[in-house]
Amino acid sequence: MQAMIIDITQENFEQMVVQNSMHVPVLVDFWAPWCGPCKQIMPVLEKLAHDLAGRFILAKINTEEQTELANQFQIRSIPSFKIYHQGQLVEELQGAQPVSAFQAALEPYLKADPSEELRLQAHDAFAQGQYDQAILLLGEASKANPNNFRVHLDLCKMYFQSGHLEQAQNLLEKLPDEAKESQDGKSLMALFKFTKIVAEVGSLEEIQARLAADQNDCEALYGLSGYLMLNNDPENAMQALLKLFMIDRSYGDNLAQKTLIEIFELLQQDHPELVKAYRRKLQNLMF
């Protein structure tokens, strides 16, 4: 689907705003070329229109040119925003707002994103071992909404979990920064990091044998932390890294501290108390 961004005039207002709002919500932006905040918010709204392609219309009214409309709606300051749904004015916002405010205002009136339902079906198929079906469903989800980066992150995860590491990494590298900086994106980046760690150190059996011979083996401890993270045991991974920090805090250009901080960021949203406890332990060791 394409983003729907329209310039509104007195002549097309009824059709483009009121009539179109019977099908999708219409966000009307009253702006002017001389207005600094208007120029700042315009690209934000245009990006939102692309991200939610086809799910709402961004209708722009230049108040300098469309003075009749500005007077009709008693626009006293700009930017000013109105949302139409089912032919009615349902929401109003005033002044420059964060994108979250527009998302929240539009949310009650947006039709369901078909790509999200396909994503859920893909998750179910993958959980049941139907790998090819899951990939096919994600392909359909991507066609339904090419701007839903969660679809591509899901595909990365499935590639990763099925052992197609090179495909997963290639796809992840091509994704926009917004996807990489999301919680799922950061999790995937971390998984690749820990995969690389264990690949350089050897098998788990080799690591265990090295630690049995020398419990202060820095490389083996670092490798162990990678295995533990990949096996969803972050607490023991952090313990291994704290031990490494105590033995040699400068090992590998401060790898123990840097990796702990990355794990803190990764776990902060879902495990804030665990992060708080281990952050305190690291600070106690540092000072």
pLDDT tens digits, one per residue of 134-180? 999 999 988 888 778 889 999 998 888 887 888 888 888 888 887 88
Summarize pLDDT for 243-258 with one digit per residue, the tens: 999 999 999 999 999 9
Summarize pLDDT for 206-239 with one digit per residue, the tens: 999 999 999 999 999 999 999 999 888 999 999 9
CA-to-CA distance for 83 and 173, rounded, in angstroms?
A: 37
Closest CA to 240 of 282, 179, 274, 284: 282
**CATH classification (class only), 194-286:** mainly alpha
Domains 4-109 and 194-286 belong to one CATH topology: no
What 8-state DSSP symbol labels residue 187? H
Q: Which residue is it, tokens 């899951």?
A: 134
Q: What's the CATH number for 4-109? A: 3.40.30.10
Residues annotated catalytic, as ranges? 35, 38
Q: Is 266 or 92 the better-scoring residue by pLDDT?
A: 92
Summarize pLDDT for 170-184 with one digit per residue, the tens: 888 888 887 888 878
- Stated pTM of the model: 0.57
Show me where the domains of the chain are located.
4-109, 114-179, 194-286
Summarize pLDDT for 43-92 with one digit per residue, the tens: 999 989 988 877 899 999 999 999 999 999 999 999 999 999 999 999 99
Q: Select 114-179's CATH number: 1.25.40.10, 3.30.70.260, 1.20.1250.20, 3.40.50.720.
A: 1.25.40.10
